[in-house]
Structure 1
Amino acid sequence: MTPTINIPRLDLLHYTQGTTDQRHQFSKEIGKAFNETGFVTIANHGMDKALIDELYAVVEAFFALPEVTKLKYEIPGLAGQRGYTSRGKEKAKDATVPDLKEFWQRGQDDNPAVNELPRFDEITGEVYRRLESAGRELLKAIAVYLDLPEDYFEGKVHQGNSILRAIHYFPIDEPDSLPDDAVRAGAHEDINLITLLIGASADGLEVLTREGTWYPVKAHGEDIVVNVGDMLQRLTNNKLKSTTHRVVNPPREQMKTSRYSVPFFLHPKADMSLAVLESCIGADNPKAYTDITAGDYLDERLRAIGLKM
């Protein structure tokens, strides 16, 4: 039996430019979905098809560069938070083998310029800015759902430690030689507050339902997929769900093809407290987490996934 799962499609303009009733309904619907499954799809997020198409073009061009060229941009000591991270480095928490991917990350500043592809920096920078803006609006709606001041997250995330990650799930030329549990992205939960995913060049994203089955997630057209991260789950004492998800390997006949994906991980500033909100603690929901800052929690998780020693 196919599991029922609430991943609604919401229009961000209903919150940013809508009536009072539309704004209230948007907040209610995103909160309900984040409480039940941790995932929504969002339309009218501020990026047009032309920008998305060029983003994927420059991302594909970067990963097509010779390995020796890409390795120039792998920066020791940064735990993959800027520049290039080669294959075999990152794994899902508790996994025994690394994911089948390589990636590039950019943040607010100190991003290495890709000299071989002048448009790469311009396009990824523009996408970063637009997704950061959309993410801040989504956090306003979430704050309202949580009965917090609408701007509760603003000072905590504006110019925060958010990351835009361009991922290349490389072709698998010899699938029989892989370990049995080697996949493009092992089952995991995201670290941050919320993640905004700009489509992908192929299917593969799946979420784990409450019934313990895997459900494929597909965006409609240029919609983005948005999900809760562990920081937001922690802050809300599990009221909002950081749902386990993965990227599965393609069918055998498609193993030799690439898959590209570009998620935006919205992180707060390092000094934000992730202490559970008092309003999310009750007799039937006791405090589940110890107090920690976002920076310390990120550091802890980067070690768990193999990016930091």
Structure 2
Amino acid sequence: MPAPTIPYAPRYVPAPPTKEDLEWADLPIIDFSLSGTPEGRAALTPQVCHAMQTYGFMYVVNHGLTQAQNDRIFDIADIPFTQVPAEEMKRFTADIKGTGSYRGFKPREMWEIDNGVRDQLEHYNIHRSVTDLQDHPKALQPFPPEILAFTEFNHKKILEPILRILARGLELPEETFIKMHGFDDPSETYVRFMKYYPRTDEDEQKSKNVWLKGHTDIGTVTILWSQPVSALQIRCPDGKWRWVKHIDNVIVVNIGDSMEFLSGGYYKGTIHRVRQPPVDQQGYPRLGVFYFASANEDVLLKPLVYSPVLQRVGINRRFDDEKAPTMDQYRKGRTAAYGMSKLIKKDEVVEEQIIHGVPVRHYN
């Protein structure tokens, strides 16, 4: 039987990795070849849980996707930004403020970064079902089978083992978080293709080289496929900003607010930001591929107080349990407000807004 023919996609050529001596975050590296069995997950639990209690970030290696498959998804990821005409892009632009959903395009200059400087990033968001809940521009229409295979890989082979390990870390049954993240259940879990473009020197100066303010993610777990343009920084436990280093065919995983809420603060939604790349990469765009996981829409984001671990160590709440929003309420509120609502300045670094009774902080 002949092999199936895959549709043509222009080859995306990324920037070469930086040669600058940057201060890199010392993130743990987790070998996911062990994640397929209960015994392997038990062995990984101390490493993963320590990472999620301290940095809130980790690298994942040996995840099962080859470098060639990785390259192919980046080829597809670049199509929305290079092969879709401007008029068609407008037709598929998401009504982010009106719906609280990112499905479709987010155009450049929608958000204010600082001192009147607008963002220079575009992204195209695809619900994990790929075609069930949204249509796509003509240039992307040959690729849903590959994109769906990619979403299923992220969900089944990366997200679900992580959720099982995080449940183990709380001494809960492995399926605890799995039941909150059904692949076919109502949820806004999605793939994001995102592209940052270089900015003017004037904008860099006005915004202090920050491309996206320090923030925590909305959902439960974020899966980022490493790419070579260095721009991502995390705020480390000592308060310093350090760079996240690119490693070929590696996944960067971090915890979002919703998992912090569910775990009673045991796992940390780490503050991270995007800033201007180092000098030897400043002329290049930055293409990113993400899988943003959210719990099912009806999940209440309150601590799992029956966890034996939380009963021993205590619970760090960001809001009273009776005021807990659902995943759907919190996601829509955060999404609709981001970059388009007034922030309250708390001090020289921190700005704040309230979303469904939850204080959400941004770090300038």
Q: Which band: TM-score by shorter chain? A: 0.7 to 0.9
State how 1:65-104 maps to structure 2 within 5 Å.
65=83, 66-76=85-95, 77-90=98-111, 97-104=117-124
Amino acid at match of 2:338: I
| Distance of 2:335 and 2:94 partners within structure 1 | 15
Amino acid at match of 2:266: K
Greater shift, 182-191 or 143-152, is seen at: 182-191
Shift of 1:73: 1.4
Label 1:201 to 1:219 Cα distance change in 2 as closer, same or farther (>3 A): closer
Amino acid at match of 1:289: F
Aligned position for 2:222: 195
| Distance of 2:282 and 2:182 partners within structure 1 | 40
Instruction: Indicate conservation of the 8 Å contact 1:162/1:264, yes or no.
Output: yes
Does residue 1:115 correspond to 2:138, yes or no? Answer: yes
| Distance of 1:231 and 1:10 partners within structure 2 | 22
Q: 1:209 aligns with which of 236, 239, 257?
A: 236
Label 1:204 to 1:61 Cα distance change in 2 as closer, same or farther (>3 A): same
Shift of 1:224: 0.2
Label 1:33 to 1:91 Cα distance change in 2 as closer, same or farther (>3 A): farther
Structure 2: gaps (5+ residues):
1-21, 343-364
What is the DSSP-based 3-state SS (H/G/I as helix, E as strand, rest coil) of the residue aligned with 2:299?
coil
Report how many residues are paired. 304
Superposed CA deviations along residues 142-186 of structure 1, whole A, max 9, x for unmatched, are 1011111100012210123211111010132x3224532463322
Instruction: Indicate conservation of the 8 Å contact 1:193/1:267, yes or no.
Output: yes
Superposed CA deviations along residues 90-124 of structure 1, whole A, max 9, x for unmatched, are 467x9975432110001133122221244443333
| Distance of 1:300 and 1:96 partners within structure 2 | 23
What is the DSSP-based 3-state SS (H/G/I as helix, E as strand, rest coil) of the residue aligned with 1:10?
strand
Instruction: Indicate conservation of the 8 Å contact 2:80/2:124, yes or no.
Output: no
Shift of 1:282: 6.2
| Distance of 1:95 and 1:210 partners within structure 2 | 28
Q: 2:277 aligns with which of 247, 250, 253?
A: 250
Aligned position for 1:30: 48
| Distance of 1:50 and 1:64 partners within structure 2 | 21
Larger Rg: 2
What is the DSSP-based 3-state SS (H/G/I as helix, E as strand, rest coil) of the residue aligned with 2:49?
helix
Q: 1:16 aligns with which of 36, 51, 64?
A: 36
State how 1:1-309 maps to structure 2 within 5 Å.
7-17=27-37, 20=39, 22-65=40-83, 66-76=85-95, 77-90=98-111, 97-107=117-127, 108=129, 109-133=132-156, 134-159=158-183, 160-172=187-199, 174-177=200-203, 179-181=206-208, 183-251=210-278, 254-278=281-305, 279=307, 280=310, 285=315, 287-290=317-320, 291-306=324-339
| Distance of 1:259 and 1:63 partners within structure 2 | 12
Shift of 1:308: 9.2
Amino acid at match of 2:268: K
Instruction: Indicate conservation of the 8 Å contact 2:230/2:245, yes or no.
Output: yes
Amino acid at match of 2:319: Y
Instruction: Indicate conservation of the 8 Å contact 2:209/2:275, yes or no.
Output: no
Label 1:47 to 1:90 Cα distance change in 2 as closer, same or farther (>3 A): farther
Structure 1: gaps (5+ residues):
none
Which is strand-richer, 1 or 2?
2
Task: Please provide the CA RMSD for this pair.
Answer: 2.7
| Distance of 1:49 and 1:3 partners within structure 2 | 27
Label 1:286 to 1:157 Cα distance change in 2 as closer, same or farther (>3 A): closer
Instruction: Indicate conservation of the 8 Å contact 1:206/1:215, yes or no.
Output: yes
